[in-house]
Structure 1
Amino acid sequence: MLYSLIFQYYMNRRTLVYLKLTSSVLGYPVVVFMPCLKFMHLEEVKWRVHLAKLISGCPVLEELTLLRDPEDEYKALLVRTRSLKRFRVLPLRNGYVRSRVKCTLKIDAPGLEHMSLGDDQICSIVVKNLTCLLVVELDVKFRVLVNTWNVSKINVIRDFLNGISCARHMIISAKTVQALARYSQLGMIPKFNNLSRLQAVFRSKLVQFLPAFLECCPNLKHLILVLHPEEMEEELELTDVPQCVSTTLECVEIQDKFEWEEGKMKVASYFLENSAVLEKLILSPTAYNQNIYEKVNKLTKRSPVCQIIHE
């Protein structure tokens, strides 16, 4: 009863601009109307009211952050709003805890500009009308790929990728790269024609997938490649040259530790030899020591204006 009274009190605050609720129980209010609310942060909240009802009472909401409670019993979370500009779904605090139910996240937000998804316990993500999307951050492994023979589940990923294909800046984690590599064996990754900036974490064993993924980014200009050390099972060969590498890529940054010296040389050589308009190849000192940097600096460069920067 107390939770319901507190919730009802907040849900009708006409001057409230920022709302943060943590480890709360949201009872079912009679009316939700917060006409000035722009920022809402809901962390480990147990729902007794549909999220859609809560959002519908916030006509100027611009930023929404969700961190689900693994004990939450709702099977669907609907985010439908025209005003929302930034949306984040944080990873569960205890990542090893499994959700009690299979949850679907549905997003219909024509004004959304920045979306960050980090909850691996969500079974499927459905997006619609993301026509203004500028930045998308993905740290998910698409649990729908567990059953590779289920065509409908594979289609969920295809529709999601098509739904975010207008993004201009993409940041993807190692687990997402691995999921996309697996998906590419089952379906075709769509073209991200508007994408000009990509930051991606590649484990050593998946560097071979890099050209195939870049083929989906025909107008890419800036690539930040974070390489994670991992023992190689077979020799790395980068032979295919996607459109962006040969015609649009202007800056490549290679970061993080990567113990395999031959692999580091091949990655650097791949971009230097194939990128016609490359202006900068930036090598992180943690990835390339002075000795390897000097070797890279002697490699053939296709672009006459390319500078190799060690910083």
Structure 2
Amino acid sequence: MDDNSKDVINSLPDNLLCHILSNLSTKEAALTSLLSKRWRYLFAFVPNLDFNAFSSLQPETVLQDQTSFIDFVDRVLKLRGKDHINKFSLKCGDGIQDEDVFPWILNALRHGVSDLALHVSPSLVYWLPSKVFASKTLVRLKIGPKDGPRIKLRNVCLPKLKTLNLDSVVFEEGEIGFAKLLSGCPLLEELSLLNLSWDYWDSCSVSSKILKRLTLCCSYCGGNPKSVSFDTPNVVYFEYSDNIARKYPQMNFDSLVEASICTRMTNDQKANARYVSDVDEETEMVGNAMNLLMGICSVKTLYLSCDTLETLSFCCQAIPVFNNLTHLTIESHPELGWESLPNLLKNCPNLETLTFQGLLHKATERCGDVCLCHGLKNSLSCLSSSPVKLLKILKIGETNDDDNKEIEIEQVKNFLEKMPNLEQLIIYYNTSNENDLVEVSSQLEMVPAVASLKCKIQVISDNLSLSSTLPSS
């Protein structure tokens, strides 16, 4: 740094310098204390505090071990006095006790913190102070990571909270505690609950007229929720991962634009499952995904996991029409079939972009007419009426098995031969050898009868790419 640069920076007012330092972690900002007397304590008055015990940047005079980390945090908070705190971020693990962390959190709450992010282990803090959920200033609250601290929800009062992200939260009162949380956040627009455990709940209901983004990912367990309802008319983004419920009595997603669905069956359900076409009046499906799909059928962008494809084969009597769907992503797995995929594609009349995350799947007699598992290459296919213009295929060649690679390439050829509206095919091939890209592209260009003569092929891998246009003959 030259003298002119130093003069320009030093001429700035303290509040502007603090604003600049707030873009750094507190440890990084602390290094500026070595510049001059003016900078000695300036870092302690930034509006955003970011304490990270795992940071690799450890000034010799600030952080040598966990003890010095505790001393550092205590010192910064003491220097600030009564100054307002805008954001308080804390990351620490074993070696620091509750009696250290609790005062830091309560200090931030007393000084009007609006953005609180806590990344602490359960051995560090088993139960967080209840005052975290009784703040009149919090706008954003994030608590994690997985298997992080437990939370006892008593009186929830977060009148300004708009964003809430919780990982591995435990609700002492089950669905009652969950309802208490929602009712205590009247302005909540974004809710993310990860690794939620509700296998002992009778039911769950998410009801909010304000929510715009909802992520509900439940940890795997041996049971199924009996009833799950969503009355969230203004949600535009919905991510849902859980064992398939016995019923979904209410599904209100009037504003939904994008959804990611991962429903799965338990081992007991899989043992008793029957394909939907085999279910009669004397038998029942092991779960019911019909209302779930009906509730999200107005979506424009949809991601379905491989487990969801399996669930639909056994737990959905009829797949609804997705009139608004333009982007669909399908995840595949070598041990799970594509039985539900043909009917799904038939009911997406305006689909423009179709993405496959892998093509390998379990070959069964009910695979339908999307694949080549049972020699259906020359048969009529739902692909023949597909409106898809852009086809993306990811994770090709990941198994390093020549037979699997051949199966994948033959499936791609099947798409080219059947899909009449394709304008672009993009293949993400797992290789660092450019010759592999050339070989795959050449094989696809030699497909004798393509359904769309205007389709352009692009084969990509890491920083390698090869583009070509299919011949018009």
Superposition TM-score tier, normalisation by shorter sequence: 0.7 to 0.9
Consecutive unaligned residues in structure 2, runs of 5 or more: 1-101, 103-125, 365-372, 398-402, 461-473
**Equivalent residue in structure 2 for 1:46, among 145, 151, 171:** 171
In the alignment, which residue of structure 1 is the partner of 2:350?
219
In the alignment, which residue of structure 2 is the partner of 1:119?
242
Q: Secondary structure at 1:206's aligned position in 2?
A: coil
Q: State the 4+ residue runs in structure 1 displaced beyond 6 angstroms.
A: 2-5
Q: Which has the higher strand share?
A: 1
Taking a change above 3 Å as real, the CA distance of residues 83 and 236 of structure 1, as seen in their structure-2 partners, is farther
**Aligned counterparts of 1:130 and 1:237: Cα–Cα separation in 2:** 38
Q: Secondary structure at 2:312's aligned position in 1?
A: helix
Instruction: Give the Å deviation of 1:236.
Output: 4.6
Structure number with greater Rg is 2
Contact map agreement 1:219 1:248 (CA 8 A) in 2: yes
Matched residues, number? 299
Q: Secondary structure at 2:314's aligned position in 1?
A: helix
Mapped pair 1:88 → 2:215:
yes
Instruction: Give the Å deviation of 1:37.
Output: 0.4
In the alignment, which residue of structure 1 is the partner of 2:381?
241
In the alignment, which residue of structure 1 is the partner of 2:81?
none
**Aligned counterparts of 2:346 and 2:389: Cα–Cα separation in 1:** 16
Of 246-255 and 123-132, more deviation after overlay is shown by: 123-132
Mapped pair 1:206 → 2:355:
no
In the alignment, which residue of structure 1 is the partner of 2:48?
none
Instruction: Give the Å deviation of 1:165.
Output: 0.7
Contact map agreement 2:417 2:451 (CA 8 A) in 1: yes
TM-score where L is the length of structure 2: 0.56
Q: Secondary structure at 1:188's aligned position in 2?
A: coil
What are the within-5 Å matches in structure 2 for residues 4-153 of structure 1?
6-7=129-130, 9-21=131-143, 22-29=148-155, 32-42=156-166, 43-48=168-173, 49-68=176-195, 70=197, 73-92=200-219, 95=220, 97-98=221-222, 102=225, 104-120=227-243, 124-142=247-265, 146=272, 151=284
TM-score where L is the length of structure 1: 0.81
Taking a change above 3 Å as real, the CA distance of residues 224 and 245 of structure 1, as seen in their structure-2 partners, is farther
Consecutive unaligned residues in structure 1, runs of 5 or more: none
Q: Which residue identity does 1:38 align to in structure 2? A: K
Instruction: Give the Å deviation of 1:286.
Output: 2.5
In the alignment, which residue of structure 1 is the partner of 2:22?
none
Contact map agreement 1:98 1:121 (CA 8 A) in 2: no
**Aligned counterparts of 2:213 and 2:138: Cα–Cα separation in 1:** 19
Taking a change above 3 Å as real, the CA distance of residues 89 and 231 of structure 1, as seen in their structure-2 partners, is closer
Cα deviation digits, residues 39-64 of structure 1 (max 9, x gap):
11233323334322321222221111
Cα deviation digits, residues 6-60 of structure 1 (max 9, x gap):
42x334322211223453242432xx43221011123332333432232122222
Cα deviation digits, residues 151-171 of structure 1 (max 9, x gap):
4865x4111111111111111
Instruction: Give the Å deviation of 1:113.
Output: 1.0
Q: Return the structure number with greater relative CO, CA threshold 8 A, min gap 6.
A: 1
In the alignment, which residue of structure 1 is the partner of 2:464?
none
